[in-house]
Amino acid sequence: MKRAAVIVGLVALASPSSAFAHATLEHTGPGFRQRVETGPAKVWLNFDQAVKALPSSIEVYSSRGEVVSRPARDGKNPTYVVAPLPRNVPTDAYTVRWHVISGDGHVISGVYTFGVRMAAPPPTEAYGATGPTRTEDVVRWLYFLSLALVVGGIGFRLVVARGPLPPRAERRFYAITGIGAIATLNVGILGFVLRAEDALQLPFGRLLYGDLSPIAGGTRFGQAFIAMTLGFAAVTALLFLSWLTDRTVFLWPALALGLAFVSGLSLSGHSAADAGSSWKSELADWVHLSAACLWIGGLVQLALVVLPLAPDARRRAFLRFSTLATVLVALIIAAGTYLSILRLPQLRDLWASGYGHVLLIKLSLVSVALAWGGVHRLVAVPQVARGGDGLLARLPRSVLGESLAGMAVLLVAAVLVDSKPPPQTDVSRKASTLATKTFVSRRTPILRTEAGPWYQPASALRSSPANSRSSWRR
C-alpha cells in the first residue's frame, strides 16, 4: 500500500496538470531545448484544452535578461497562445516563461529554453533561476545520509552480521534501514520540488499548477530523480517484505537494486555532464559513492545495533567489518584520486578556486575519519582478536564517533557537488590526460571524495565568476 501511495504521489508530482485535470501543454514552437538556425518569428504554445492568454502570458528572455517578446495573444485556435518576436532574433540562448488561465480558473505556469544558432541550457539553468541554495545543500546531505542508512545497512546485515540476531537487534536493524528507505523517497521528492520551484520561479503554493515535464523528462537531474524514486520504492517494498516474513533472502535483491539506482547520482552529475567526462568518470563516481554508503551505513549498524544489542556477534562482526572497511576505504581513495586528477589537474586549483577550497575542507574531514578508523584497525582489532571483551563494551561510542565524522564528510560533499570545477584550458586538459595516465600506471596517492550529485551541475559559490554555472546567464 505504501509503495502504491508513493508511486501515485510521484506521478501526481511529475504530471500535476493531468492529475488535477488542468490544461496540459502539449506542443511548443520552438521546441524544448531546440536549437534553431534561423530566428523564429514567434513563440507559440499548444494546450490540450482552451486557455485564456494574458498580455504577459509568454515572456521570452535573452541571456542578459532582456524581454525580446511582444505581448502575447490568443491564437486562432483557442488552445493556442502566441507571442510575436522581432525580426532577426540574434544568436543567443533564450528562456520562455509562460502562464495561462486554464478552463477551471487556475493559472498554469511553466518554463523552457531554446537556442538560436547555439545550444540551449537545461530549464534548471534558465534565466532567472538562482541556482542551488543552502537549503538544497542540507536536503542533499540528508539524501546522502538516507542512502547510507538503507544501502549501507542492508550491506552490513548481509555481509558482516550474517546469521540470526537477537530480536531487539533485528528490530533496530529494520528500524534504521526503514528510516533510511523512507527518507530516501521523501527527501528525494523534496529536493526535486526545491529545484523545480527555483526553475519555474514560483512560490510553493503555485507549484502544483506548474508544468514540470521539461524538468522531469528534459534534464539529467529529472530523469535521475524519477528513476531513483521508483527504484528505491522497490527497495522499500523488499525491505518491508523481509521484515514481514522474517526472511533476509529479500534483502539481496534490495541491496542489488539500491546499489544499481545509486548510479543515478553519478549519471546526472559532474562525472557525467562536465567537460572531459566519460564512462570511466561515471564508474569511478559510482564506486566512490557506493563504497562511502556501505562504509558509513555499516558504521551506524555496528555502533547502534550489533555492539550494544548482540553480544554474541560483537567480536565476529567487528573483525569482519574491519576487513570490509579496509577494502571500502581503498576504493574510496582510488576513485577519489582519479576524480581529483580529472577535475583539478593543476595543484594550484586547490587554493585558487572555490571548488578547491571546499575540497580542502572535505579532505581535512576525510583525514579525521580515516585516522579514526586507522586507530580502530591498528589498536582495537588486535585486542578484540585476542579476546578483549572489555574493549568491546567501550567500542560503540568510538565507532559512532567515526560514523559522525563520515557524516560530516557527506555534509561538505553536499556543498561540493554544487560547486563548479574550474574551467579547463587546453593546457589543463593535456595535464589532466597526462595525470590520468600517471595515475593508472603509478596509482599516485592523491585523495579526493566526490559523491556524484543527483542535481544538474551548478555553482553554489556564486561569488566567484570562475565558478558560475554557465557563462550565458551572466
Model pLDDT, residue 286 = 93
d(CA 436, CA 469): 25
Sheet containing 35-36: order of strands? 35-36, 107-116, 92-101, 58-61
Q: Which of 56-70, 94-108, 123-137, 406-420 has the lowest mean pLDDT?
A: 406-420
| Domain coordinates in residue numbering, the chain | 23-121, 134-455
Other residues' Cβ atoms within 10 Å of the Cβ of residue 347? 11
Q: Which of 394, 402, 393 is nearest to 311 (CA)?
A: 393
In the CATH scheme, what is the code of domain 23-121? 2.60.40.1220
Cis preceding linkage at 30, omega within 30? yes
Q: What is the mean pLDDT of residues 192-217?
A: 84
Instruction: Please check the confidence at residue 298 and state whether its pLDDT lies above 90.
Output: yes
| 340 compared with 257, residue with greater pLDDT | 257
Q: Which of 108-122, 279-293, 421-435, 451-465 has the lowest mean pLDDT?
A: 451-465
The DSSP bridge pattern shows strands 35-36 and 107-116 to be parallel
For cell 561540493, what's the residue?
A: 416
Model pLDDT, residue 387 = 66
The DSSP bridge pattern shows strands 80-84 and 42-47 to be antiparallel
d(CA 150, CA 160): 15
The grid cell for 54 is 494574458
Q: Please, which residues bridge with residue 59 across strands? A: 97
Model pLDDT, residue 236 = 96
Model pLDDT, residue 33 = 92
Element at 299 (helix H, strand E): helix 279-301
Model pLDDT, residue 16 = 44
Could you give the angle at the alpha carbon of 184 between the alpha carbons of 180 and 187, nearest 5°?
120
Name residues whose C-beta falls within 8 Å of residue 50's C-beta, 6 or more positions apart in sequence: 23, 78, 79, 103
Instruction: Please check the confidence at residue 465 and state whether its pLDDT lies above 60.
Output: no
Element at 172 (helix H, strand E): helix 167-200
Q: What is the mean pLDDT of residues 416-426?
A: 66
Task: Give the chain's largest Cα–Cα span.
Answer: 86
Model pLDDT, residue 431 = 44
pLDDT digits (tens, 9 = 90+) for 40-78: 999 999 999 999 888 899 999 999 999 999 999 988 899
Instruction: Please check the confidence at residue 18 and state whether its pLDDT lies above 70.
Output: no
d(CA 421, CA 363): 16
Instruction: Please check the confidence at residue 120 and state whether its pLDDT lies above 50.
Output: yes
Per-residue confidence at 235, pLDDT binned at 50, 70, 90?
very high
Instruction: Please check the confidence at residue 189 and state whether its pLDDT lies above 70.
Output: yes
Could you give the angle at the alpha carbon of 336 between the alpha carbons of 335 and 339, nearest 5°?
90
Average pLDDT, rounded, for the chain: 80
Q: What is the mean pLDDT of residues 15-29?
A: 68
CA distances from 446 to 114, 279, 439 (A): 41, 21, 9
CA distances from 29 to 80, 84, 112, 414 (A): 11, 12, 11, 37
Other residues' Cβ atoms within 10 Å of the Cβ of residue 31? 12
d(CA 59, CA 65): 11
**Are 451 and 288 a contacting pair, CB within 8 Å?**
yes
CB half-sphere exposure, 205, CA atoms < 13 A = 1
Q: Which of 268, 428, 271, 272 is nearest to 338 (CA)?
A: 271
Instruction: Please check the confidence at residue 149 and state whether its pLDDT lies above 60.
Output: yes
Q: How many helices (H) and strands (E) does the chain have?
A: 18, 8
d(CA 337, CA 421): 15
The grid cell for 61 is 528572455
What percent of the chain shows pLDDT beyond 90? 38
Radius of gyration (Cα) for the chain, nearest Å? 25
Per-residue confidence at 461, pLDDT binned at 50, 70, 90?
very low
Other residues' Cβ atoms within 10 Å of the Cβ of residue 380? 21
Residue by residue, DSSP assigns 394-436 as HHHHHHHHHHHHHHHHHHHHHHHTTSPPPPP-HHHHHHHHHHH
Per-residue confidence at 7, pLDDT binned at 50, 70, 90?
very low
d(CA 13, CA 194): 12
Could you give the angle at the alpha carbon of 330 between the alpha carbons of 327 and 332, nearest 5°?
110
Q: What is the mean pLDDT of residues 314-321?
A: 86
**Are 308 and 421 a contacting pair, CB within 8 Å?**
no
Per-residue confidence at 229, pLDDT binned at 50, 70, 90?
very high
* Most confident stretch, 47-56, 214-223, 391-400: 47-56
d(CA 7, CA 10): 5
Q: Which of 275, 187, 270 is nearest to 452 (CA)?
A: 270
d(CA 231, CA 7): 10
CA distances from 166 to 180, 383, 385 (A): 21, 25, 22
pLDDT digits (tens, 9 = 90+) for 253-282: 999 999 999 999 888 877 777 766 788 889
